[in-house]
Amino acid sequence: MTAAGQPGECEERVIERLLVVVAHGDDETLGAGATLARLSDEGVSIGLCVLTHDDGSRHADDRGTDRGEAILNAARLLGIQEVNVHRFRDNRLDEVGQLELNRVVERQMRRFAPDTVFTSALADLNNDHRLVGLAARIAARPGRSGVHEVRSFEIRSSTDWAEASGIRPAFSPNCWHVVSEAHLDRKLSALRAYGAEREQWPQPRSEEGVRALAAYRGSQVAVPLAEAFEVARQVVGWRA
């Protein structure tokens, strides 16, 4: 169930190769885990590009835990076939520079050759998320890639907190991807792979919080469960 702009303006297109570009391991799970599980079941080739490798900003001594194994375990549960984790530090992407981030994502995009990109929303409280979301859009710009659709997703405790903190414009979905209970269960299993990132209710990254968001997004379009996206660009009717 999709919409882009005015109703009827765009038509549904088949995704063949999807690249998910995120700042942190767990962003892909929180943002689109159930949709990724569904798309993998439908035969879509899915690649994951993660820019940071640790959770250093969560620790006073700056000695974070490497998330590499957790990222691979979560990817396996979601059906992601290819994973690339880069070695930037958590919540320090503003020290790297936008140009370097752009180049890293561009190299990944040239190698994987996706027709579709999922990434984080620009309306987000986390600066890493915004920088990576911008880098993904730059790398996927028309005429420089074979990407025909760019979607952004919401990440619990970052995108929703931006809205609650008065940051405008807020995340405004125009695409709802219907998912099943089985797909949502796989998303929750992938979240468990990240250990301490799974919080207790009423925190937004709790299993109850993730399930509540899927039910709420589903109710917006009269289905039981869904994940919501902003479609930044969609090109239909294109043939090579």
Q: What's the mean pLDDT in 98-112?
A: 97
pLDDT digits (tens, 9 = 90+) for 200-230: 999 989 999 999 999 999 999 999 999 999 9
- Tell me if 239 is assigned to some domain: no
- Tell me if 194 is assigned to some domain: yes
Q: What's the mean pLDDT in 58-81?
A: 84
**Residue with token string 């190299």:** 107
As a whole number of angstroms, the distance between CA 77 and CA 71 comes to 10
- Tell me if 202 is assigned to some domain: yes
Interior/surface letters 112-146, b for 16+ CB within 10 angstroms, e for the rest: bebbbbbbbbbbbbbebbbbbbbbbbbbbeeeebe
Which residue range(s) make up the domain with 224? 17-232
* CATH number of the structural domain spanning residue 105: 3.40.50.10320
How much is the pLDDT for 11? 61
Please count the structural domains in the chain.
1
- Tell me if 3 is assigned to some domain: no
Confidence of residue 54 (pLDDT cuts 50, 70, 90): confident
The structure's pTM equals: 0.92
Tokens of 204: 């937004």
- Tell me if 5 is assigned to some domain: no
Residue 13 confidence (pLDDT) above 50? yes
